[in-house]
A = this chain, B = another copy of it.
């Protein structure tokens, strides 16, 4: 089946990175642009860290640790241990080789380069054919409201291991942040939009919170917007999506995810085991189909990517 490229995928961290790898391996070189959440970015040790950008980039470059899904394969942690001895925080386990990315990014940003430019430089250096774009060059920070008070995202996610109950989420800076010209162009040119199986609240949520992006994701003739559920049954393969959906009073299912993305979604791929949900999608006016959505290796990533692209072609028009 012909694929109408270019394709734009919206992604957060590990789940998004996996589907991005599948899409990149399926589409012609250069046909894919991934717009990545940056609201999880943080500064530690004076270094600018962009966890989701790095996860997408390392996965696309084939550098990532396939067990944990993020970081660099076989990386060591000597630097973070010495930083800890120096009194720095160690809860964010930066790898030794990984550190080079944060050092380089920080240096280039301090020289005045935009995050979009730095990301492009890093991707070029890593021979990545896919265009990887931060959702914005402006600072946006996910803040998690919990019974213990408002937490920075990585404090909630890593330092506290997602244990606090989430009673609200806000994206500090999103109101004034602008999408970049590169994001605008990619969305203008895209013939297919893919929502990766990323947390709809804290991974796709920040991207959708950028006003310019929202508008450019609006319904457009012959441009399918296809999502993939990060929830299978009533659980997420990884991360706090399920607990977060529940505590924020969403359905803890693929259906709950689709409801959140509803205004920007035409079609949704759910896991085989959620086949019983298909009728409910009719009520949502969202087309749905099932697929094997667990991506444990390259072939399952490519198979899911192909299913998503086939679905897009089928509903185009």
Q: Taking beta carbons and an 8 Å cutoff, which residues of A are in contact with B?
A: 45-47, 75-76, 78-83, 85-88, 96-97, 99-101, 103-104, 106-107, 110, 121-122, 125-126
Partner of A75, one of B78, B86, B97, B121: B78
On whether the beta carbons of A83 and B104 are closer than 8 Å, the reply is yes
On whether the beta carbons of B100 and A83 are closer than 8 Å, the reply is yes
Q: Closest residue of chain B to A43, judged by CB?
A: B107
Query: Chain A contact residues: over half helix, strand or loop, or mixed?
Result: helix
* Given A82-B97, A85-B125, A87-B121: A107 touches B75 (CB 8 Å cut-off): no
* Given A86-B125, A121-B86, A125-B87: A47 touches B97 (CB 8 Å cut-off): no
Min CB gap A119→B, angstroms: 12
Q: Closest residue of chain B to A127, judged by CB?
A: B85
In the complex, what distance in Å separates the CA atom of A104 from the CA atom of B78?
Answer: 14
In the complex, what distance in Å separates the CA atom of A34 from the CA atom of B87?
Answer: 23
Q: Closest residue of chain B to A78, judged by CB?
A: B97
Which chain B positions have C-beta within 8 A of A79? 79, 96-97, 99-100, 103
* Given A76-B78, A85-B125, A85-B126: A46 touches B99 (CB 8 Å cut-off): no
The 13 listed contacts between A and B (C-beta, < 8 Å) are A46-B103, A75-B78, A79-B96, A79-B99, A79-B100, A79-B103, A81-B100, A83-B100, A85-B126, A86-B125, A88-B104, A99-B99, A99-B103
Partner of A97, one of B96, B121, B122: B96
Partner of A45, one of B80, B104, B125: B104
On whether the beta carbons of B110 and A46 are closer than 8 Å, the reply is yes
In the complex, what distance in Å separates the CA atom of A86 from the CA atom of B113?
Answer: 14
On whether the beta carbons of A86 and B46 are closer than 8 Å, the reply is no
Which chain B positions have C-beta within 8 A of A82? 97, 100-101
Which chain B positions have C-beta within 8 A of A81? 97, 100
Which chain B positions have C-beta within 8 A of A83? 100, 103-104
In the complex, what distance in Å separates the CA atom of A65 from the CA atom of B123?
Answer: 34
Min CB gap A93→B, angstroms: 13
Min CB gap A223→B, angstroms: 35
Which chain B positions have C-beta within 8 A of A121? 86-87
Seed contacts A79-B99, A81-B97; 15 additional CB < 8 Å A-B pairs: A45-B107, A46-B110, A75-B78, A76-B76, A76-B78, A76-B96, A79-B100, A82-B97, A82-B100, A85-B125, A86-B121, A87-B121, A87-B125, A88-B104, A99-B103
